[in-house]
Structure 1
Amino acid sequence: MDARTDREVRTEVEAALAREYRFQEQLSQALITDLPEQGIADVLHGHLGLGVTVEDPFGRVLARAGAHGREPFPRLTRAQRDRLVDAARRVSGPLRARHQLASVAASHGIVLGLLVVLDPESSLEPSDGRTPESDARAGSHRAGALHAIGLATSALTLHLLHRRHLARTELRLRHDLVEMVLLEPAEDDLAAEIDRRVGRASALSHDLTGPHRVMALQPCDGRWPDGEAVGDLVERAARDLDMPYLGTLRGQIAILVCGTPSAWLDGGGNAMTPWSDRGDSGGRRGDDRAARRDSRSRAAWRVVYDAFIRVLRQAPALGVGGFVDRPEHLPRSYREAMQALTVRLRHDDPRGLVTFEDLGLYRLLATPQGRREAHAYVEDWLGALLAYDADRQADLVHTLESYLDHSGNYDDTAAALHIHRSTLRYRLQRIRELSGHDLAHADTRLNLHVAVRAAVVADPPGAGPSEHLTPQ
């Protein structure tokens, strides 16, 4: 009787070892497939017979096995996920969160992903000793389940870490490419230089020959959300828009060289309005068709803006450069995007999206020569007031701007500036004395109004040194 029991135990142990070796071999094979996350989920599901999901650090499902087309389990809320990840930093092995066992794939304190197993009956929990029949028998598909989850998590960690290193390398290459395409190509080597740029973009699976716009994005107060890489945030917004892009970071400003979002491509792959320029849409700006067209355009651009709000969790400032259909014109779109961003940032409320087409007068100052001319123009008309404001921490230029914006109406201007009429009267007198200009003269008011507008972009702030949009 004892000999037969020993044989049974030996047979069961040998079966368990064979199953373990087979499981490890399947995990190894999963890592070299085209979809390692799905392979790991399939192997673990086959081993445990339970639903398995692989998620990225933000809760996005990367792979799922055993769901049979349905959600395998309730998704963790953001608070639950944060608590789980925090607990995982202090313990080893899977952690239970209600009907789920979750194992964190992490390296050096950085969470790379999450492997979640649905276990509503708590069948993977060890016995408490009072119900020994609940222990998994050696050789059963439950035996060593926690160990199997650990092995699968280790395999997932290796894959995600390798993918992260590849992503860093690719992002550096993309950064270098963006820096290249934003430079004006030399005219004597134009064709060869464009071929080089297109070839490098193609190697990174980006078609630089199609319609593009450059976007310049700065988060609220110039601060990106803590704990998340800028590149990951931009990638998520671009994925929501189905918009191919190349990106880099200059100071706190993300520069994105963007292909056409899929929603604005027609059946032939051509860019439609509002992504394409609006010059061919017909109608005068003042008629009903133009008004409806502008309304649809604003609604469409709002979709783009909302995508960035969702990932940043706050409203940023976004400048969009003009439409280009050739790679050599991207530097112009970049200048226009920076100009649009500068105008947006110098509003009382910097949050919002501005396209270059909507800049009006500011479009005349898009070129470096135009900005130099604007600087000289501003100096001629406002130089004395700007110097006085800088020296005395006064606010005369802003007062003049508000006065002109309100068509010289004292009451409206004083209300907008939150000052008394007598204070406004004193400031306007100082403006007359310092500038030597008569504010009652119509041409003088026009020139001063243009000057205060031009001052916004005459000397725009630089974007600062460039950086990679690499994960933190």
Structure 2
Amino acid sequence: RVKDRLISLVRPRHEVLGVLALIDPAHTAGADQVFALEYGSTVLALELSHQRSLAEVELRLRRDLVDDLIAGTDDGSAHARADAIGHDLRRPHHVVVLRWAGDLAEDVVAEATGRAVTTLGLASLVSRHSGAVVLLVAGPLDGAALYASLSESLGAGGAIGIGSRCETPGRLPKSYTEAVRALEIRRTSQAPNGVTTFEQLGIYRILDTGQNHGDVVEFVREWLGKLLDYDTQRNAELVATLAQYLECGGSYDDTAAALTIHRSTLRYRLGRIREITELDLNDVDSRLNLHLATRVWQVLRGSP
């Protein structure tokens, strides 16, 4: 008894799953009422235990399905298994891989991820693989919104990689590999926290295969090293200016507008770039290599 109530714990085995209470302010409950309360607790314990077992089985089936999908399985079997757990695998999907810094357990990150996708209204399958949380998300995906939601519950120290869109289950293993690659590049960039999609990597997908990262960094230093050092020493923005100039195809008007600076300021910066690099920006080979280097530089600094 607790004040005006008789309380019975719903406890199959040794774990408390709930409480059943009989409100008895006049203290008139007798043996029959106590028996009914105890009987109800037993029935409720069996039902809750059964529901928990079903939930655990469904969770295991979902995780097993994700593991098999990113490893590769036939479309027919994948559709049948997804239908059995109520997930529509016939819609386009993205594979998302994420890791969070700190001492957070994988279960904590996985649970937070599940809550985040539910809040965002995303149909998804969640699992854990190779120390990371893996998501299969149906339909359009806003990576920034997902990161913001997770940062709110887990803190801002995490990274997310997103693979390209999959029209069929057979495409998911490739999307998973892409998501892992995007995640690794984000985590090793100068801004390791945030979201990177495989599409954002652009030419970097070809230049850096995962085995030659040092060669790629050396390539950037070869073409942009003097400008990077100048920017660091003078707190300037010559590399960013060069990158925008090349993205705009050498158009002064478009570049000045994109950087929100005057044409004379742009002309001065480009003059300094030519002096420091001793390169002709009109030379086809120089422009190509500088364009590649600035694209890779953007990826390495975490803003592809």
TM range (shorter): 0.5 to 0.7
Cα shift at 1:254: 0.6
| Residue 188 of structure 2 corresponds to residue 346 of structure 1 | yes
Q: Is the 8 A contact 2:96 2:137 kept in 1?
A: yes
Aligned equivalent of 1:223: 104
Aligned equivalent of 1:17: none
Identical positions, percent: 24
Q: 2:117 aligns with which of 220, 238, 249?
A: 238
Aligned equivalent of 1:307: 149
| Residue 178 of structure 2 corresponds to residue 336 of structure 1 | yes
Provide Cα deviations, 1:224-265, integer angstroms capped at 9, x if missing partner. Answer: 37xx655544433332233222222123311111113xxxxx
Judged with a 3 Å threshold, the aligned counterparts in structure 2 of structure 1 residues 454 and 379 are, in CA distance, closer, same or farther, namely farther
- Once residues 450 and 320 of structure 1 are traced to their aligned partners in structure 2, the CA distance between those partners, rounded to angstroms, is 19
- Once residues 233 and 149 of structure 1 are traced to their aligned partners in structure 2, the CA distance between those partners, rounded to angstroms, is 36
Aligned equivalent of 2:241: none
SS at match of 2:90: coil
Cα shift at 1:210: 0.8
Bigger share in helix? 2
- Once residues 251 and 302 of structure 1 are traced to their aligned partners in structure 2, the CA distance between those partners, rounded to angstroms, is 24
Q: 2:211 aligns with which of 358, 364, 375?
A: 375
Larger of the two Rg values belongs to structure? 1
Q: Is the 8 A contact 1:318 1:352 kept in 2?
A: yes
Cα shift at 1:109: 5.8
Cα shift at 1:344: 2.5
| Residue 2 of structure 2 corresponds to residue 166 of structure 1 | no
- Once residues 400 and 222 of structure 1 are traced to their aligned partners in structure 2, the CA distance between those partners, rounded to angstroms, is 39
| Residue 3 of structure 2 corresponds to residue 124 of structure 1 | no
Letter in 1 for 2:188: R
Q: Is the 8 A contact 2:125 2:137 kept in 1?
A: yes
Cα shift at 1:315: 5.3
Judged with a 3 Å threshold, the aligned counterparts in structure 2 of structure 1 residues 212 and 375 are, in CA distance, closer, same or farther, namely same
Provide Cα deviations, 1:104-142, integer angstroms capped at 9, x if missing partner. Answer: 64566655x44476x9xxx536xxxxxxxx3316499xx
Letter in 2 for 1:177: L
Q: Is the 8 A contact 1:244 1:259 kept in 2?
A: yes
Q: Is the 8 A contact 1:343 1:456 kept in 2?
A: no
Q: 1:257 aligns with which of 104, 112, 136?
A: 136
Cα shift at 1:101: 8.3
Aligned equivalent of 2:27: 135
1:15-54 matches, within 5 Å, as: none
SS at match of 1:375: coil
| Residue 216 of structure 2 corresponds to residue 324 of structure 1 | no
Aligned equivalent of 1:411: 233
Cα shift at 1:342: 1.7
- State the TM-score, normalizing by the size of structure 2: 0.63
Cα shift at 1:356: 3.0
Q: Is the 8 A contact 1:378 1:454 kept in 2?
A: no
Judged with a 3 Å threshold, the aligned counterparts in structure 2 of structure 1 residues 179 and 350 are, in CA distance, closer, same or farther, namely same
Letter in 1 for 2:49: L
- Once residues 441 and 102 of structure 1 are traced to their aligned partners in structure 2, the CA distance between those partners, rounded to angstroms, is 84
| Residue 83 of structure 2 corresponds to residue 179 of structure 1 | no
Aligned length: 255
SS at match of 1:217: strand
Letter in 2 for 1:175: R
CA root-mean-square deviation: 4.4
Judged with a 3 Å threshold, the aligned counterparts in structure 2 of structure 1 residues 110 and 304 are, in CA distance, closer, same or farther, namely farther
- Once residues 155 and 2 of structure 2 are traced to their aligned partners in structure 1, the CA distance between those partners, rounded to angstroms, is 29
- Once residues 323 and 361 of structure 1 are traced to their aligned partners in structure 2, the CA distance between those partners, rounded to angstroms, is 18
- Once residues 307 and 102 of structure 1 are traced to their aligned partners in structure 2, the CA distance between those partners, rounded to angstroms, is 39
- Once residues 216 and 208 of structure 1 are traced to their aligned partners in structure 2, the CA distance between those partners, rounded to angstroms, is 18
Cα shift at 1:184: 4.6
Letter in 2 for 1:203: A
Letter in 2 for 1:165: S
Q: Is the 8 A contact 1:223 1:252 kept in 2?
A: no
Q: Is the 8 A contact 2:203 2:296 kept in 1?
A: no
- Once residues 244 and 380 of structure 1 are traced to their aligned partners in structure 2, the CA distance between those partners, rounded to angstroms, is 38
Aligned equivalent of 1:196: 77
Letter in 1 for 2:61: L
Q: Is the 8 A contact 2:93 2:165 kept in 1?
A: yes
Cα shift at 1:149: 5.0
- Once residues 223 and 6 of structure 2 are traced to their aligned partners in structure 1, the CA distance between those partners, rounded to angstroms, is 62
Cα shift at 1:338: 1.5
SS at match of 2:87: coil
Letter in 2 for 1:124: D
Judged with a 3 Å threshold, the aligned counterparts in structure 2 of structure 1 residues 451 and 244 are, in CA distance, closer, same or farther, namely closer
Q: Structure 1: any 5+ residue segments left out of the alignment?
A: 1-93, 126-133, 186-192, 261-273, 276-299, 384-396, 415-438, 458-472
Cα shift at 1:155: 3.3
Q: Structure 2: any 5+ residue segments left out of the alignment?
A: 237-275, 280-285
Judged with a 3 Å threshold, the aligned counterparts in structure 2 of structure 1 residues 337 and 101 are, in CA distance, closer, same or farther, namely farther
- Once residues 256 and 301 of structure 1 are traced to their aligned partners in structure 2, the CA distance between those partners, rounded to angstroms, is 12
Letter in 2 for 1:198: H
